[in-house]
Homo-oligomer: A and B are copies of this chain.
Amino acid sequence: MVLFHNDYNEVCHPAVLKAVNEMAMNQYPGYGMDDLCKSAADRIKRLCENDQLHVHFLVGGTQTNLTVIAASLRPYQGVISADTGHINVHETGAIEATGHKVLSIASADGKLTAQQIRNAAGAQSEAMDAEHTVQPKMVYISNPTEIGTIYTREELEQLSAACKDCGLFLFLDGARLGYGLTAPGNDLTLADLARLCDVFYIGGTKVGAMFGEAVVISNDRIAEDFRYMIKQRGGMLAKGWLLGLQFETLLKDNLYFEISAHANRLALQLRDTLKKLQIPVLVDSPSNQIFPILADCVLEKLGKEFTFNMMERVDQTHCCVRFCTSWATKQEDMDALCAALVNYSK
Please determine whether B131 and A231 come into contact, CB atoms closer than 8 angstroms: yes
Please determine whether A210 and B234 come into contact, CB atoms closer than 8 angstroms: no
Chain B residue nearest to A232 (CB atoms) is B92
A251 at the interface (CB under 8 A from B): no
A20 at the interface (CB under 8 A from B): yes
Secondary structure of the A contact surface, majority rule: loop
Contact with B along A220-240 (1 / 0, CB 8 A): 000001011111111111110
Please determine whether B94 and A232 come into contact, CB atoms closer than 8 angstroms: yes
A100 at the interface (CB under 8 A from B): yes
CB contact between A242 and one of B11, B28, B135, B228 (< 8 Å): that residue: B11
A139 at the interface (CB under 8 A from B): no
Please determine whether B228 and A135 come into contact, CB atoms closer than 8 angstroms: yes
Please determine whether B228 and A131 come into contact, CB atoms closer than 8 angstroms: yes
Please determine whether A133 and B90 come into contact, CB atoms closer than 8 angstroms: yes
User: How distant is A204 from chain B, measured CB to nearest CB, in Å?
Assistant: 10
Q: List A residues 10-32 near B (Cβ within 8 Å).
A: 10-12, 14, 17, 20-21, 23-31
Q: List A residues 260-303 near B (Cβ within 8 Å).
A: none
Q: List A residues 300-346 near B (Cβ within 8 Å).
A: 307, 310, 328
Instruction: Please give, as numbers and ranges, the residues of chain B lying within 8 Å of A26 by CB-CB distance.
Output: 10-11
CB contact between A232 and one of B28, B64, B76 (< 8 Å): that residue: B76
Please determine whether A27 and B10 come into contact, CB atoms closer than 8 angstroms: yes
Contacts A135-B225, A228-B135; A234 near B237 (Cβ below 8 A): no
Q: List A residues 66-84 near B (Cβ within 8 Å).
A: 66-67, 70-71, 74-76, 78
User: How distant is A218 from chain B, measured CB to nearest CB, in Å?
Assistant: 19
Contact with B along A1-17 (1 / 0, CB 8 A): 01101101111101001
| Cα distance, A101 to B87, chains bound together (Å) | 11
Instruction: Please give, as numbers and ranges, the residues of chain B lying within 8 Å of A23 by CB-CB distance.
Output: 11
Instruction: Please give, as numbers and ranges, the residues of chain B lying within 8 Å of A76 by CB-CB distance.
Output: 92-93, 97, 225, 228-229, 231-232
Instruction: Please give, as numbers and ranges, the residues of chain B lying within 8 Å of A98 by CB-CB distance.
Output: 75, 99
Instruction: Please give, as numbers and ranges, the residues of chain B lying within 8 Å of A255 by CB-CB distance.
Output: none
Contact with B along A121-147 (1 / 0, CB 8 A): 000000011111111000000000000
Contacts A92-B231, A93-B232; A10 near B25 (Cβ below 8 A): yes
Sample of 13 A–B contacts (CB below 8 Å): A3-B27, A9-B30, A17-B21, A60-B234, A67-B234, A76-B229, A92-B135, A94-B231, A94-B232, A96-B96, A98-B99, A131-B227, A233-B234
Closest 3 CB pairs of A and B: A63-B234, A76-B228, A92-B232
If A76-B93, A91-B232 are given as contacts, then 6 extra A-B residue pairs at C-beta distance below 8 Å, sorted by A number, are: A9-B30, A62-B231, A70-B75, A76-B92, A76-B225, A92-B132
Residues of A within 8 A of B (CB): 2-3, 5-6, 8-12, 14, 17, 20-21, 23-31, 59-64, 66-67, 70-71, 74-76, 78, 89-94, 96-102, 128-135, 205-206, 210-211, 225, 227-239, 242, 307, 310, 328
